[in-house]
Amino acid sequence: MPDISYEFLTDFFVNCLPFTPTAHQVNVFQGDLALVSPYLMRDALKEVCAGNPGNILHYQPNDWRPAIFKVYNRKVAEQAQLFSVFHCFETAFRSTVAVALERHYNHTRWWAGVHAALRAGQLARTVRQVGGVVLTRDAADLIARIIESIYGPSFQRNRVATFQNGYEFAENCDIGQIGFLVEKHWAIFSHRFVRGTRRLSMADFMAKFQRVRDARNDVYHHKSVARMTNVVQTAEDLLDYLNFSLGFVYQKVTDSSPAPLAFAIAIQPRHQIW
């Protein structure tokens, strides 16, 4: 039975390449697909073909692969640039949510009541208040779903009970859940999303947040990001509402000089170098 790389090879060679590869080229490419992202590789191959419709037909067997990997590596570098953007975006919103909800509910562990209800076999919406502040049914249900997603509905691993503050709770949420916490507490957060006379609606906020989240997930799963500039501008726009300058922080990160990574294993032909 052909492995999964065969499916990608068929797509590459039938639908992407304007020439018929040799048996050796097929074998080499199949070896590559066991080590790289097939999605980035496919996009790199398409880009090379689109940019060199005439020249690629005349590539020698040893030329086509470096050309494709040159584009592939550029895409990896572009994704590496986005890491700082997503880091800023995630940490800012996680911390904003953690602090804002603690202040709103007057309770360091504002999820604890819902957690206790679930442990007792009760519905989350039976918890009506936290710290003397009303907890809406929608917010209670969301907090319950987050708790269950952290360690499953069986509660065999009582991780949530160990969280001492909102930072720890938010750290264990996925980024989509952070956005939903803002949505279900929009009355608390809406005043932050005002710039001059413009007030961002909840629907606009969620659309922008989702755009960044989708791009973040694509990058973390090693897929190409469409309209990368738009994603950066969207992240910058939302962070600006929090009085966070993405451009300033990104430049400071770029200007820093971290210690270079050290590699001890010598490069060898078996590493499928190009």
Res 58: pLDDT: 52
Q: Does residue 267 contact residue 62 with C-beta atoms inside 8 Å?
A: no
Q: Does residue 267 contact residue 273 with C-beta atoms inside 8 Å?
A: yes
Q: Identify which has the larger pLDDT, 249 or 42.
A: 249
Calculate the alpha carbon distances from 191 to 47, 197, 200, 203, 210 in Å. 44, 12, 9, 15, 20
Among 186, 183, 176, smallest CA distance to 217 is for 176
Res 30: pLDDT: 80
Res 60: pLDDT: 56
Q: Within 10 A of 36 (CB to CB), how many other CB atoms are there?
A: 16
Calculate the alpha carbon distances from 182 to 96, 115, 139, 142, 167 in Å. 10, 19, 10, 11, 15
Q: How far apart are CA 136 and CA 185, in angstroms?
A: 9
Q: How far apart are CA 128 and CA 135, in angstroms?
A: 5
Q: How far apart are CA 265 and CA 263, in angstroms?
A: 6
pLDDT surpasses 90 at 102: yes
Q: Identify which has the larger pLDDT, 67 or 207.
A: 207
Supply the pTM of this predicted model.
Answer: 0.86
Q: Identify which has the larger pLDDT, 7 or 147.
A: 147
The C-alpha torsion from 111 through 112 and 116 to 122, rounded to 10°, is -20
Calculate the alpha carbon distances from 154 to 112, 150, 159, 169, 174 in Å. 17, 11, 12, 19, 20
Q: Within 10 A of 203 (CB to CB), how many other CB atoms are there?
A: 9
Among 47-61, 97-111, 193-207, 258-272, whose mean pLDDT is lowest?
47-61
Q: How far apart are CA 154 and CA 244, in angstroms?
A: 39
Q: Identify which has the larger pLDDT, 262 or 26.
A: 262
Q: Within 10 A of 28 (CB to CB), how many other CB atoms are there?
A: 17
State in Å, rounded, how far the first CA of the chain is from the last one: 29
Q: How far apart are CA 198 and CA 268, in angstroms?
A: 59
